[in-house]
Amino acid sequence: MNSDIQRIINEIKLSAEEIVSESPDQIKAVYVMDREGTVIAYTTNATLASTGDMFFAMPRFISSLKGLLTTLPIGKIDYILIQGIEGIVQLMGIREIGYLMVIVNSESSIGLTRIILERYTNKLYELLSKLTGASEEQLVEVVNVEITPKDIEDVINFIRSKAMF
């Protein structure tokens, strides 16, 4: 992995940890995801709960929500609140580049957590934009391979030699 990409991911993780530190008595976990729902970084508040298992469920969760939203006339994901027995999930879109999800303990912290999420949205948008740019740049470097006519001829000759046996 490119050192620039790793540095950006570390900054994203640090931001997630800062969000937890804003309200450590209420926030159970923070997840930062790309637009497909792949978790880029997450942190859990070990004193409140272990929510690391959700790491693998996020892409399917985001995909399901996107599917639901396309059938409803409400557009893209901006902010979703889901309440369960063990806590509340607050999911916020980060300007169509990713998502920020927080799991909190109680209803009383919903408003405060939303304010905290709003405060970190711009910073995370910039970091996710940098990450996307660095990832695409690295992909272009890897894919940019020159194939000569001699390479193609060698492949054709190899295939012919295997077909004769």
Beta carbons of 45 and 19 less than 8 angstroms apart:
no
> Domain boundaries in the chain?
3-163
Amino acid at 60: R
Each residue's pLDDT expressed in tens, for the chain with a length of 165 residues: 578 888 999 999 999 999 999 988 889 889 898 888 888 888 888 776 655 556 566 667 777 777 777 777 676 778 888 888 878 888 888 988 888 889 888 888 888 899 999 999 999 999 999 988 887 765 555 555 577 778 778 878 878 777 665
CA angle 135, 122, 45 (to 5 degrees): 85
Torsion angle in degrees (nearest 10) through CA of 140, 141, 146, 147: -70
Structure tokens at 117: 């999420």
pTM for the model stands at: 0.73
Q: DSSP 3-state assignment of 133?
A: helix
Strands (E), the chain: 27-34, 39-44, 79-83, 88-94, 98-104
Correct CATH for 3-163 of 3.30.450.30, 3.40.47.10, 3.50.50.60, 3.30.2010.10: 3.30.450.30
Among 43, 58, 35, smallest CA distance to 125 is for 35
Q: Which helix (H) or strand (E) holds 85?
A: none
CA angle 106, 111, 116 (to 5 degrees): 105
